[in-house]
Structure 1
Amino acid sequence: MSRLRIRATSAWLSFPLWAWLAFFVFMPLALVVWYSFGEKPDLFTAVSNDQLSFDRYGEVLDGVFMSTFWATLRIAGVGTLLCLLVGVPFAYWMAVKVDPRWRPLLLALVLVPFWTNFLVRTLGWQIFLAPNGMASDALQWLGVLNGPLDILYTRGAVQLGVVYNYLPLMILPLYVVFERLDPSQREASRDLGAGRWKTFFSVTVPEALPGIASGCLLVFIPLMGDYLTASVLGGARGTMIGQVVARQFTSAQNWALGSAMAVTLMAFVLLTVVLAAAVFLLVRTIVRRARHLDLEVTP
């Protein structure tokens, strides 16, 4: 009887979570899927599900969606890789090399910009990268450029903006996993004759693979759906797929096509994540086997 009471209490305690997921995640998602089978019957009606069909998905795969999707995938992939290349050494330095007394301050310096309004931060980069902005003036003063900086409203500006906006999401899980590593493993590796770089890549990085995978997912998934950064910094030359989907719901008022685009985007992102997970498992297996062979060879 006590077990049933405990289970009932647990169910009631978890009810707010399930209610939140049901009303704000599952129901909106089901509504978007339902709309994706509809159509836009006339100029003044956004969607109608009187006749269900897969025609909207055909329009998605044949239109500008796919070309923009591949461009967005490149931006997301490069952005995730750049965040990883910057986040790994910074998080390692912060978690291992810095005095523990200063780590909370460094964490605050990482988090405070992230807590600032997303739009405000992106607008700051728009002002900074403008042809008459600080970056342009500084580069011309140093003699690097002969004229104004022409990077705003390009894919390069979008790439820079997404790396800045999503870098904290890479640093935080890496910092946690690096801080929890056992220092005795690194000391043992050095006692066995391994240098700093070999110790880092053969001991530290394999142990940090879960944090690397978490950081990559935290950066890649929201980056694929980001449209604010591209809207502010990209202009016509830096369009991302999130903008294409948003326009169908706003200016075009074609909710059926926009829903089909959203569902297709989610399916592609899920497929990419599954493929990345398979690659991660393969890399982890290879690394573990390599480490096992190294232990067998080491006298």
Structure 2
Amino acid sequence: MVKGTEDKIFNAVVYTVLVLVGVAVLFPLLFVLSVSLTPMAEVLKNGGYIVIPKNITFAAYEELLGDRAIPRAFLVTVFVTVVGTAVNMVLTLLMAYPLSRKLLPGRSFFLFVILITMLFNGGIIPLYLTVKATGLLNTVWAMIIPGAIGTFNILIMKSFFENIPEELFESVRMDGAREMRILLQLVMPLSVPVMLTIGLFYSVGHWNAFFSAIMFITNPDLHPIQVIVRNILAEPSASMDFTDVPVPTEAMQMAAIVVACVPIIAVYPFIQKHFTKGMLIGSIKG
């Protein structure tokens, strides 16, 4: 098919806009990375803005990771992300699958109750009192249990399950399979895209956990990486237990941001195709 002049102009405009948007998105990331790798003398010499460093130093990362607070917070975040995502996926899967079955007794009532939670919640104070009453304060579970199930994610996964042809369920039932076997051997293998998508939602939420940490955790040893990064950025004059460098530099602040962001960014390219497919299939009922 031969493209006309109008089509070429349209494509040129679209590509130009995409390039500009891409630059606008990537520039802050490049700036943060460059400052974290550049000696402060060079950063100050360039007026505080530098994109391509001429001299590279890893001193900020050495000083940052040399303090016990950062590795400890990183391990806490990894634990909360891995274990929390696993708990989220198991509970979401076990709740979304029954709701996708139209013959489930009381299905409409349960869906109504779930939708209500998207519009109203008990508030921060009742949530805190509930966490306190269950003995979860100052434990890593306070960052996992209160958000164990996401209503929006349940609805996405339920819609995906409803799109699986009913003939497949009937065929395995004729072979004598029960619901748990159907879920494990039929539904889950067919639901890899949506499960990876929901898993990404949950894992990013756990990795970026901040509000729940400052609300339920007062023990510094249990603070996740995002709280430590916030302290570095908000309190640049704090010592942060560094023995040789009492005042964190701007390079160390940027290095903290990189340390907090890189792991979750590195995972995304591996599940990008599943993420797009899962969002499209899981959000359209038809």
Q: TM-score of the superposition, structure 1-length normalised?
A: 0.69
Residues 246-261 of structure 1 mapped to structure 2, 5 A cutoff:
246-252=230-236, 254-261=249-256
Q: CA deviation at 1:126?
A: 1.8
Does the Cα contact within 8 Å between 1:36 and 1:56 map onto a contact in 2? yes
CA distance in 2, matches of 1:4, 1:262: 46
Among 227, 236, 245, the residue aligned to 2:210: 227
Q: Aligned equivalents of 1:8 and 1:176: distance in 2?
A: 39
Give the aligned partner of residue 208 of structure 1. Answer: 191
Matched, 1:152 2:137: yes
Shift in Å, 1:203: 1.1
Distance 1:121 1:8, change over 3 A: farther
Q: What is the rounded CA distance, in whole Å, between the counterparts of 1:81 and 1:162 in structure 2?
A: 12
Give the counterpart of 2:176 among 188, 193, 212. 193
Specify the alignment match of 2:281 in structure 1.
none
- The answer on 1:112 being equivalent to 2:127 is no
- Picking from 65, 68, 82, the partner of 2:87 is 82
- 1:54-69 pair list within 5 angstroms: 54-63=58-67, 64-69=69-74
Equivalent residue, structure 2, for 1:73: 78
Q: Closer, same or farther in 2 for the Cα pair 1:158/1:194, shift >3 Å?
A: closer
Instruction: Quote the Cα distance in structure 2 between the aligned partners of 1:92 and 1:7.
Output: 47
Cα offsets for 1:91-146 (capped at 9, x unmatched): 11222245886687456335335xx7xxx95554224334xxxxx3xxxxxxxxxx
Moved more, 251-260 or 100-109: 100-109
- Give structure 2 stretches of 5+ with no counterpart: 42-47, 238-248, 275-286
Q: CA deviation at 1:169?
A: 5.3
Mapped to 2, the partners of 1:12 and 1:199 lie a distance apart of: 50
Whether 2:230 is the aligned partner of 1:242: answer no
Code of the residue aligned with 2:260 in structure 1: it is L
Percent identity of equivalent pairs: 16
Instruction: Say whether residues 1:184 and 2:188 are aligned partners.
Output: no
The structural deviation recorded for 1:16 is 5.9
In the alignment, does 2:264 pair up with 1:269? Answer: yes
1:31-75 CA-partner distances (Å, limit 9, x unpaired): 21122124567xxxxx79796421112223322212211111101
Aligned counterpart, 1:286: none
Seen in structure 2, the aligned counterparts of structure 1 residues 230 and 123 have a Cα distance that, compared at 3 Å, is: farther
Q: Distance in 1 between matches of 2:99 and 2:12?
A: 41
SS class of match (1:36):
helix
User: How far apart, in 1, do the equivalents of 2:12 and 2:49 lie?
Assistant: 38
Decide whether the 8 Å contact of 1:162 with 1:223 is kept in 2: no
Once the two structures are superposed, residues 209-230 of structure 1 have per-residue CA deviations (whole angstroms, 9 ceiling, x without a partner) of: 2111111111102321221221
Q: Secondary structure at the match of 1:151?
A: coil
Equivalence for 2:10: 9
Q: 2:111, 2:39 → 1: CA distance? A: 53
**What is the aligned residue count?**
247
TM-score (norm 2): 0.72
Unaligned 5+ segments in structure 1 are 42-46, 131-135, 137-148, 281-299
The 3-state SS of whatever aligns with 2:148 is helix
- Structure 1 residue 233 displacement after superposition: 1.4
